[in-house]
Chain A
């Protein structure tokens, strides 16, 4: 059996690039701001729902921006709860995530599924024009352009005064306050930005799969975290901002390859969530386990040598 056909590689690459936006969102909230933002699941569905509805209305490009704005609004609510109302950050995310279920289903006109068959999507518009020239790689090309624009914009932003302030907020909150930066402001901007990217990813998925489903975001935070961690272990989490952004995108693509291989090896689709959870658990636990293992090895080695010395004496 040929495990990896070109078409599997291609669709994994496409999905990887789309979900890379969520991974970048978590790069901002989880890695940079040091906040576990659990708004992600609901926010992804929100972007998907808003994106689908605006696409359905005949505006596939505006749909992307509408999804980003709605995502940013969700992020703002989470940030408001934790910075102004003293709600614990994880709880703030869970609360907003729960509330978003109702919002999302309302956006889709109180239906749990919206189909976009026959609608103009950005993929279809591009396909009509350049598909032959690119031999079917038009979606990949379009997504590469979108991701490149987002990645460059993010890299540029993180080097600006505001971007640096956001990075410092997660790095050393004490230092931020004494530099006359308001952490409430930087956390709010950071979470809005992160969730805007999540929303954009949702809208792209809606157009890519030609449907929006109320449950599409379930487990998204785990999946994105898995991508982020894979990327970090590939490239290291210490390097320059550009390197880390690139690593995050690579991680997302690699994650999709892993999933594609799993599916190819006849792992049933229902098992994928468990596979994702295992990847995250293993990826997060690995550095810790490695340290423990090294310590244990030293302990055993030490026990052996000291045992010998005692024997000699």
Chain B
């Protein structure tokens, strides 16, 4: 499904700020894999996501999605198949545009909307958006004409998730997408995430700083440090792991304690 083949990325090469954010990273995800990712600050988690999403082109190595080499594909081309959610709930939606307009833009990723540059939002699209919004259970289906800027952070993140999955992506990248939300909303958005990923069998990568989540959500856990993956567990081995084991594994693999200022052990 997704294959990262020995990719590397160095920022500001040749300066005092030189930083190798990804260092010979290799990873293969199977179709339908839902992997959680934990790691210290600066381990390269977000950078790996940005490399996959195409925010920058990697210095070396190749990225394959569904057998296709996307290493040099532009970001907006990749986004047809890859959904990307960030920690900042403001990043995924256009604030002065209405809910339905935002969804219409997300819906552009559907192949059937090709060649419809000069069409306005159709009644059929509206019905689809309304139905999907209703599933969030946040009452947004009755506020489709309101600008997104009026929504709360949690509502905006739920909307962003809905938009990213409105057209089923091949790969969903979740970069601590619940971390900026209050606990109740975070749980709600995480539940929505789990449901949609399971329903549609989306291959998914999720960065989290919640160690419990890292083991309970999805079917695979990856641990990153120094720009590559230091620990990768799934199946029975993962089922038996406790949070304490996970931290031990990190110490074993890296030689130091997991250093993440926001890490949650519960």
Q: A161-B108, A164-B105, A168-B105 known; A178 and B79 CB under 8 Å?
A: yes
Is A167 on the interface with B (CB-CB < 8 A)? Answer: yes
Q: Which residues of B contact A177 (CB under 8 A)?
A: 75-76, 79
Q: Which of A168-185 contact B (CB under 8 A)?
A: 168, 171-172, 174-183
Q: Which of B53-111 contact A (CB under 8 A)?
A: 53, 74-77, 79-80, 83-84, 86, 90-97, 101-102, 104-106, 108-109
Contact with B along A130-173 (1 / 0, CB 8 A): 00000000000000000000000000110111101101100110
Of the residues A160, A174, A176, contact of B120 by C-beta under 8 Å = A160
Contact with B along A165-209 (1 / 0, CB 8 A): 101100110111111111100000000000000000000000000
B94 touches A171 (CB 8 A): yes
Query: Contact residue range for chain B?
Result: 35 or more
Q: Which residues of B contact A182 (CB under 8 A)?
A: 74, 76
Which residue in chain B gives the minimum CB-CB distance to A32?
Answer: B96
Q: Chain A interface mostly helix, strand, loop or mixed?
A: helix
Q: Which residues of A contact B95 (CB under 8 A)?
A: 171-172
B79 touches A179 (CB 8 A): yes
Query: Contact residue range for chain A?
Result: 20 to 34
Q: Chain B interface mostly helix, strand, loop or mixed?
A: loop
A162 touches B94 (CB 8 A): no
Is A238 on the interface with B (CB-CB < 8 A)? Answer: yes
B94 touches A178 (CB 8 A): no
How far apart are B205's CB and chain A's nearest CB, in angstroms? 15
Q: Which residues of A contact B92 (CB under 8 A)?
A: 174-175, 178
A181 touches B105 (CB 8 A): yes
Q: Which residues of B contact A180 (CB under 8 A)?
A: 76-77, 79-80, 108-109
How far apart are A165's CB and chain B's nearest CB, in angstroms? 6
B109 touches A179 (CB 8 A): yes
Q: A171-B96, A179-B109, A180-B109 known; A162 and B91 CB under 8 Å?
A: no
A165 touches B105 (CB 8 A): yes
Q: Which of B91-143 contact A (CB under 8 A)?
A: 91-97, 101-102, 104-106, 108-109, 113, 116-121
Is B164 on the interface with A (CB-CB < 8 A)? Answer: yes
Which residue in chain A gives the minimum CB-CB distance to B164?
Answer: A178
Q: Which residues of B contact A183 (CB under 8 A)?
A: 76
Which residue in chain A gives the minimum CB-CB distance to B86?
Answer: A174
How far apart are A34's CB and chain B's nearest CB, in angstroms? 11
Bound complex: CA A6 to CA B75 (Å): 58
Q: Which residues of B contact A172 (CB under 8 A)?
A: 90-91, 93-95
Q: Which of B17-73 contact A (CB under 8 A)?
A: 53
Q: Which residues of A contact B116 (CB under 8 A)?
A: 161
Which residue in chain B gives the minimum CB-CB distance to A171?
Answer: B94
- Can you add 4 more A-B contacts, CB < 8 Å, to A157-B118, A172-B93, A178-B84? A167-B94, A168-B94, A179-B105, A181-B105
Q: Which residues of A contact B (CB under 8 A)?
A: 156-157, 159-162, 164-165, 167-168, 171-172, 174-183, 238
14 contacts between A and B (CB under 8 A): A160-B120, A161-B117, A165-B105, A171-B96, A171-B97, A174-B91, A174-B92, A176-B94, A177-B75, A178-B53, A179-B79, A179-B109, A180-B80, A180-B109
